[in-house]
Amino acid sequence: MSDQQVEKKLDELLPKLKESDMNEEEGRFLQWRLTKECGSGAEEVERILEALLPNLLKIILDVSGHAVVEKLVLRADEEQMIQIIDLVMGDIFNITNSRHGSEVLKTMLKHLSNDQQTCLVSGLEGSVVDCVLTAFGSHVIQAMVEAMPPSSLGFVVDELAAQVEKIASSQYGSHVVQAIIDKFEPDEIKELSEGIVRSVGTLANDFYGNYCVQCLLAKGSWESKQDIITVIRGDIIKYATNIHATYVVKKCVEVANCGPDVDFLADEWHGLLSAMLGDPDDEDDSAGGVLQQLATDTVSSGTVQAIIRLSRGEDHELIKERITALGSVLEDSKEGQHVMSCLRKYAGGRGNGPAP
């Protein structure tokens, strides 16, 4: 397309954008003109911006228009960006929770300065929970967590902490909670972490919530890990045999045997191990009832294999002794056979067999 043809098309298209939507062809044309590769200069970018501003909020929500605004964001100078931010702030909640608007916001968050980011999302204060419970809104909040420094996200953490059980057990909110745990230092999210710990009994058994508990076990403070393991060992059969909570139990075994907090978790690990192995001196468990139930259950047998793979030293020898004593019983079930096979494979404990 020649320069004259481009100029003619712009002259025809830009005036109408102040009042009406653009079609797919028009959207593709403007996207092309907003790429540096096409040779368009600052003056042409300014013309396009001026044409879009009167109808910008509607264009952002449009299937063709939102992609044009994303390209515009990449070309806008600081003054032009301020104009865009001022308009977007006026309808930030609806834009956040819309399919196309959320894409525009994610692009803006990636390319704005911290001051501009803070200004842009300030209108979401008080509405964070409503946003994270929706598909598109949660993507924007997650983009905020990824793009902004923790010092600018205090209101997000505070609002989520106040309803953390509800959010962590939701399809979209659980991803946001995990993103926060991954990014923040443990002492920056104490209230959020404490809320998850208080709700471990519910979240560990939940389809989405169990991932948040696992994330806190992996990234949280050693105090949080202690508290979670204490809850889990208190009803080990309930959690280990639950299709979701069993992954939390495995993560408890992992963090108590590997990683930076092993020394802090020694008591909790031995308590968890005792709960799983049962007490051979207890008349009610003289036949290894707890261990046998865990080792022969379709779900929890994998957890028994985890303690075999990850344990070491005297702990591993104790596990081997207890499981070997049940060998004839375990060989009668498919799950038990898998446990016995794992025991043979990791006969020497962690480090003497394949990596877990």
Q: For each of the chain's 356 residues, which pLDDT tens digit applies?
A: 788 898 899 998 999 887 777 889 999 999 999 987 777 889 999 999 999 999 999 999 999 899 999 999 999 999 999 999 999 999 999 999 999 999 999 999 999 999 999 999 999 999 999 999 999 999 999 999 999 999 999 999 999 999 999 999 999 999 999 999 999 999 999 999 999 999 999 999 999 999 999 999 999 999 999 999 999 999 999 999 999 999 999 999 999 999 899 999 999 999 999 999 986 555 555 445 899 999 999 999 999 999 999 999 999 999 999 999 999 999 999 999 999 999 999 987 664 443 33
Instruction: Tell me which DSSP letter residue 340 carries.
Output: H
Q: What is the Cα–Cα distance from 218 to 259, expressed in whole angstroms?
A: 9
Give the pLDDT score at 280. Answer: 57
CB 69 within 8 A of CB 30: no
Give the pLDDT score at 279. Answer: 67
What residues have CB less than 8 Å from 288, skipping those under 6 apart?
Answer: 277, 278, 280, 322, 325, 326, 329
Residues in the chain, overall count: 356
Give the pLDDT score at 350. Answer: 62
Structure tokens, 72: 């515009």
Query: Which residue carries 């259950």 as its tokens?
Result: 297
Structure tokens, 164: 């953390």
Which stretches of 90-221 are DSSP H helices? Answer: 92-96, 99-111, 114-121, 128-132, 135-147, 154-162, 164-168, 173-183, 190-198, 200-203, 209-219
The answer to pTM > 0.85 is: yes
CB 300 within 8 A of CB 241: yes
Give the pLDDT score at 39. Answer: 75
CB 181 within 8 A of CB 164: no
Give the pLDDT score at 353. Answer: 40
Q: Is 220 left (phi over 0), alpha (psi -120 to 50) or beta?
A: beta
- Write the single-letter amino acid at 243: I
Q: What is the pLDDT of residues 345-354, one digit of tens each?
A: 998 766 444 3
